[in-house]
Amino acid sequence: MRRVICLLALTAIILGPAVGVQAQTQTLNGAGASFPFPLYSQWAHKYHALTGVKVNYQSIGSGGGIAQIKAKTVDFGASDEPLKTEDLDQAGLVQFPMVVGGVVPVVNLPGIAAGQIKFTGELLAQVFMGKITKWNDPAIKNLNPGLNLPDQNITVVHRADGSGTTWLFTHYLSLSSPEWRDKVGVGKAAKWPAPNSVGGKGNEGVASYVKKVAAAIGYVEYAYALQSQMSFAVLKNKAGKFVTPSIESFQAATANADWQKAPGYYIVLNDQPGDQSWPITGATYILVHKQQADAAKAKGVMKFFDWCYKHGAEMAQKLDYVPLPAKVVELVQATWAKEIKADGKPVWP
Residue in 186, 210, 235, 340 binding other proteins, rule: CB under 8 A? 186
The yes or no reply on residue 188 touching other proteins (CB under 8 A) is yes
Report the C-alpha gap between 29 and 107 in whole angstroms: 38
Residue in 196, 229, 248, 334 binding other proteins, rule: CB under 8 A? 196
The yes or no reply on residue 143 touching other proteins (CB under 8 A) is no
Report the C-alpha gap between 84 and 158 in whole angstroms: 25
Select 208 or 227, whichever has its Cβ closest to other proteins: 208
CB of 212 to other proteins, least distance (A): 6
Select 197 or 317, whichever has its Cβ closest to other proteins: 197
CB of 152 to other proteins, least distance (A): 8
CB of 191 to other proteins, least distance (A): 4
Residue in 319, 173, 323, 176 with CA at minimum distance from that of residue 248: 323
Select 93 or 186, whichever has its Cβ closest to other proteins: 186
Q: Count CB atoms within 10 A of the CB of residue 20.
A: 10
Of 105-113, 192-200, 221-229, 322-330, the segment contacting other proteins by CB under 8 A is: 192-200
Angstrom CA distances, 347 to 56, 297, 337, stand at 21, 10, 7
CB of 66 to other proteins, least distance (A): 6
Report the C-alpha gap between 44 and 57 in whole angstroms: 8
Buried b (16+ CB within 10 A) or exposed e, 196-214: ebbbbebbebbbbbbbebe
Angstrom CA distances, 76 to 35, 41, 85, 300, stand at 16, 14, 18, 11
The yes or no reply on residue 82 touching other proteins (CB under 8 A) is no
State phi, psi for 341 to the nearest 5 degrees.
Answer: -135, 150
- Give how many residues touch other proteins by CB under 8 A: 37
* Residue 197, strand partner residues: 156
Q: Answer for the pair 233, 105: CB distance below 8 angstroms, yes or no.
A: yes
Of 88-96, 119-127, 181-189, 300-308, the segment contacting other proteins by CB under 8 A is: 181-189
The yes or no reply on residue 224 touching other proteins (CB under 8 A) is no
Residue in 29, 54, 56, 67 binding other proteins, rule: CB under 8 A? 67
Beta strand 216-221 pairing with 281-289: unpaired
Residue in 53, 139, 143, 160 binding other proteins, rule: CB under 8 A? 160
Select 159 or 236, whichever has its Cβ closest to other proteins: 159
Q: What is the DSSP code (8-state) at residue 265?
A: G
Q: Answer for the pair 95, 216: CB distance below 8 angstroms, yes or no.
A: no
Q: What is the DSSP code (8-state) at residue 313?
A: H
Residue in 30, 36, 64, 264 binding other proteins, rule: CB under 8 A? 64
How many residues appear in the chain?
Answer: 349
CB of 47 to other proteins, least distance (A): 26
Of 56-64, 100-108, 114-122, 246-254, the segment contacting other proteins by CB under 8 A is: 56-64
The yes or no reply on residue 201 touching other proteins (CB under 8 A) is yes
Helix or strand holding residue 102 (H, E): strand 93-107
The yes or no reply on residue 153 touching other proteins (CB under 8 A) is yes
145: Cβ contacts below 8 Å, ≥ 6 apart: none
Of 143-151, 179-187, 235-243, 250-258, the segment contacting other proteins by CB under 8 A is: 179-187
The yes or no reply on residue 162 touching other proteins (CB under 8 A) is yes
Residue in 161, 179, 306, 339 binding other proteins, rule: CB under 8 A? 161
The yes or no reply on residue 185 touching other proteins (CB under 8 A) is yes
Residues within the interface to other proteins (CB under 8 A) = 60-64, 66-67, 152-153, 155, 160-163, 170, 184-192, 195-201, 208-209, 212-215
